[in-house]
Amino acid sequence: MNIILIGARGAGKSKVSRSLSKQTEIPVVSTDSIAVYESGGLPIPEFVDKKGWKAFRELEYSILQKLENANGIILDCGGGILFDLDDSGIEVLSTRKLDLLRKIGRIVYLERGIDELVEKVKGDKTRPDLSKITSYRAILEKRLPIYQEAAHFKLNLSKLSKEEAAERILDWLGIKSK
């Protein structure tokens, strides 16, 4: 079985995935790390600057295809894993990626409030702009309900440590920590 963590950037997916791994000895696989590897080491902001968001979303899809038969991993997904761009460049739910994620494992949505997320990622140069036109807040307002619909389990992290979050996920899955 695989555990899949989704949520907005800044939600805490990487920290919780590492805590889950520490408690279970299940390895963590990061879609963003694989994307950097598969692009020849190009950081995601540079990849997006050179090739665009549509190409990055295609790269994410190819990564999920490669992970379709994985077993025994914690998958730390980039914040946009559930999305593609339509022909006019508008972000839409990616049913093809969601279908693959559901085949791969159990989806856990790590949620935080919009104000908290906006504050956490403000000024972070390691994350590419999601849009030159739309604010992160407006993007979150559209994305958060989609994360909720996609998830098998939702967990609000606003008042939980990464260890407490990992424990709650393991309890939900019926997995004992090591």
User: Can you tell me the distance from the alpha carbon of 173 to that of 146, in angstroms, rounded to the nearest whole number?
Assistant: 22
DSSP secondary structure string for all residues of 159-172: T--HHHHHHHHHHH
> Annotated binding residue at 32?
yes
127 is in an annotated binding site: yes
78 is in an annotated binding site: no
151 is in an annotated binding site: no
- Long-range contacts: 160-169, Cβ < 8 Å, 24+? 162/12, 162/15, 162/16, 162/18, 162/19, 163/19, 163/23, 165/12, 165/16, 165/19, 165/110, 166/16, 166/19, 166/20, 166/22, 166/23, 167/23, 169/3, 169/16, 169/20, 169/108
13 assigned to a ligand binding site: yes
Q: Is 10 annotated as a binding residue?
A: yes
125 labeled binding residue:
no
* Feature table: binding site for ATP: 10-15, 127
* Feature table: binding site: 10-15, 32, 57, 79, 127, 143
* Feature table: binding site for Mg(2+): 14
* Feature table: binding site for substrate: 32, 57, 79, 143
